Amino acid sequence: MDNSSDRAIVLRDTPGRSTLAAVDYRVHELLLRQEQQERTTLKLIASENFASSAVLEATGSIFTNKYAEGYPGARYYAGNEIVDELENLAIERLKSLFGSEHANVQPYSGSPANQAVYRALLSPGDKVMGLSLPGGGHLTHGWTVNFSGTDYKRIPYGLHEKTQQIDYHRLRETAKRERPKLVWVGGTAYPRVFDYAAMAEIASEVNSYLVADIAHISGLIVAGAHPNPVGHCDVVSSTSHKSIRGPRGGFILSRNEDRYQELYHPKSKHNLAKRIDRAVFPLLQGGPHMNIIAALAVTLQEAANPSFRTYGKQIVKNAKALAQALLERGYDLVTGGTDNHMLILDLRDRPLSGKAYAERLAKAGIIANFNMVPGDPRHPAVTSGIRLGSPAVTSMGMREAEMAQISAFIDLVCRQPNDPDVHARVRRDVADFCAAFEVPGITNRKPGKSKVAT
């Protein structure tokens, strides 16, 4: 009997050669080009970072193959004894790092995590307060084009006109008047520390759930460079990448018991932790991505190392140094500076839009994103600002002195936004500058001398 046709469909790795290159050279080529881009550019997008080789190894591991619908000890598929241990390991590490009573590591990312929070705590049409998008908030905190702004009644809060920081006095007045069922504290473009104690006091006054979105600052919290919302908030949601340097996933922390159970969920048989779990699965998701949970467990192990505290604090030092250098060069910053990992350039007095400057910076090897500023007169598709972040360049080993040089690069491009020759020269200098530093997960290049622009 001829079994050649059966043998033909068996997958075999090619010895001595990259399997990806052997199977799909086009994707392999794109991967190499992406590596080259990340070796030679300044990654200043505040939501991006470099995952370690260990995290990348776990992400691409055979845990990708396993279906594990359900939770440890209660799966809907057989053969999950090992992945049960894996998920429990990630949960315990997460609870330990943040001091939380409960943790769920199955959300596919930050927005699905936030959606699960809504479904666990609220009913459609309930009032939700969140920092407005122009003020630095996130789409899922009640913005009109997002499910959170269509399925729930949005009550935005904003910033003080002079300080451009959260106006807690006005927030309290709005909360007392509107009496929302949930208040978000957190944002995607807010460069200052959140006052969790003040927010908890306000939320308690109006019997509101308080939920912190720490997607951007989770690594800073672990490092002790930013206050921990656990203890102040009913629920905490996050991505697992950004400043904590993990895979692209999400997680949710919460108390076990619901202080508003009798008020808002008197008929429920489940406590807060159980309702969170049931909202993630089976309400919103199917099988978890066990390879991502494996990579998260590795991330949490790395974050528990004392060196991570040094890293997280250096992120803030670098952001402050970059902010100060840009201020000295005459640039305006939202709130006048930063307390965390990001800063927002306010370019309303400049001739071009934030998008136009971001495009020119990218041509020069400086990767950032255009961003709205408070009171932005431009459309969100173009904006008047640029958001800059320090996590990735800090992961490369850069410190305050390098931030001064980065500010010089930025200034050269922004002062001559329509000169492609300047952009090309800066691009070459940025590549030489980056060559002196290691790129986690990509190269083990030893530091050396670099060519810089003046």
Q: Which residues are annotated as a binding site for (6S)-5,6,7,8-tetrahydrofolate?
A: 133, 137-139
> CA gyration radius for the chain?
23
Considering 35, 48, 69, 178, which one is annotated as catalytic? 69
Considering 38, 213, 376, 429, which one is annotated as catalytic? 213
Query: Is the backbone of residue 136 left (phi > 0), alpha (psi -120 to 50) or beta?
Result: left
Q: In the annotation, is 239 catalytic?
A: yes
Q: In the annotation, is 144 catalytic?
A: no
**Separation between Cα atoms, residue 76 and residue 235, nearest integer Å:** 27
Q: In the annotation, is 357 catalytic?
A: no
Q: In the annotation, is 67 catalytic?
A: yes
Q: In the annotation, is 242 catalytic?
A: yes
Residue with tokens 């370019």: 347
Considering 39, 57, 67, 332, which one is annotated as catalytic? 67
Q: In the annotation, is 248 catalytic?
A: yes
Considering 179, 248, 309, 378, which one is annotated as catalytic? 248
Considering 154, 242, 275, 360, which one is annotated as catalytic? 242
Tell me the binding residues.
133, 137-139
Q: What are phi and psi of 166, to 5 degrees?
A: -55, 130
> CA-CA distances (angstroms) from residue 399 to 40, 160, 332, 341?
18, 32, 22, 13
Considering 41, 174, 239, 394, which one is annotated as catalytic? 239
> CA-CA distances (angstroms) from residue 6 to 1, 11, 156, 279, 363?
11, 11, 61, 43, 50
**Separation between Cα atoms, residue 271 and residue 205, nearest integer Å:** 22
Active-site residues, by number, are 67, 69, 213, 239, 242, 248
